[in-house]
Amino acid sequence: MANDFKGTKYEATKDIYDTSVLAKMFRADVKAAKKAGDLPKDLKLSVRTSKYSGGSSINVGVKAVNLMIINPERVRFDVENPHHVHGAPARYTPEAQNLLDTLESMLQAYNYDRSDSMTDYYCVRFAGHVDFYHELEEASRATIAEADLDELADAAREARHEAEEQEEAAQAEAQAKYEAEHAKKVGADKAILAALPQTRPEERERDDIPAEGLAIYFEWSETPYVDAAKVFPTFAEANAHLATAEVLECNELKALNREWGGYRKTKFVVSIDGDTYTGRFDIGCDEESLEAHILAFCDPAQNPFLRAGSKEDHLESKLWAAKIEKALTQEALDAFEARTVTINVPAVFFPGAAGGMA
């Protein structure tokens, strides 16, 4: 939104285009304010004008005034927090800030501002600001005795040391609390697992795997609801079994007022015409399906370890990707044929079909 500011003396001086004339009028205002007691009588200013292509400026610097300029609280903060400014007290004392605000208001009385920051449009009668001379600020800072600064520095070091000790104590307390809660949770999980059926049956040589076609089975799983004794002839049946196992374990944990955490590692084997592919499927890890898991591992674009592998690794992965795709195609065809039904269409009598058309 564009500004629409006009100083109280703008209308009366809008026909004056020389910034140096406005600066003289500002000096006269300061002199009158000092005489009236509105500004400190010992106030000394530097009023400088500058003209350049496209505009001009009036910069006012406070050279001398009998005031405490720098806020002592700010000095203390700077000593105690040499590398931080967040939360710092005001730089100037209230009296010094009030002086700046008064002078700024007197200067801006001659100005206007039609700037619009949203469109990066800058339009003022003149630029400029009011500030304290750096030397005056440093002199004000030096009025705080070195002894006081040493005392503040010592206090700051003690405060930092105390804060560090408190932080270490808090961290130790938090770590102890975490370890206690973790031990409690681990104990509860062990109790739950002990009450459930055996989750990792011993791997064994299988004699129930067909030498031809597709067969999928699971050697072990961290969830007891994966049946390591079954052999699944299709990916669809194997995926359905994994989904059922996840639901059953969720229900079991819910009954024990426990939440599902992490995932359940499951070792699977895919046999196609006697060749086997072994992998690990993580139940509860948002993996789409067994076939998607295998194809992703066989794709160099998705598997960085395969990209860094040997030529033989790439060829073997391509071979297994082709085998999986072929098995999925056959599975889809078998499913389509199983759903195909025969429709008996009754004979339709057309006049003249038997005896001919006239």
* pLDDT at 200 > cutoff 70: no
Lowest mean pLDDT among 90-104, 182-196, 228-242, 280-294: 182-196
pLDDT digits (tens, 9 = 90+) for 41-89: 999 999 999 999 889 999 999 999 998 888 888 888 887 787 877 888 8
- Helix, strand, or coil here: 143? coil
* pLDDT at 38 > cutoff 90: yes
Between 243 and 201, the higher pLDDT residue: 243
Average pLDDT over residues 194-218: 70
Between 216 and 259, the higher pLDDT residue: 216
Between 180 and 157, the higher pLDDT residue: 180
Q: What are φ and ψ of residue 287, in 5° steps?
A: -75, 140
User: What is the spatial distance between Cα 20 and Cα 100, in angstroms, rounded to a whole number?
Assistant: 21
User: What is the spatial distance between Cα 238 and Cα 177, in angstroms, rounded to a whole number?
Assistant: 42
Average pLDDT over residues 109-125: 91
Average pLDDT over residues 108-132: 92
Average pLDDT over residues 10-14: 94
* pLDDT at 154 > cutoff 90: no
Tell me, what's the pLDDT at 19? 93
Average pLDDT over residues 197-205: 51
Tell me, what's the pLDDT at 344? 53
DSSP string spanning 299-331? -TTT-HHHHTS-HHHHHHHHHHHHHHHHHHHHH
Between 62 and 119, the higher pLDDT residue: 62
Tell me, what's the pLDDT at 313? 84
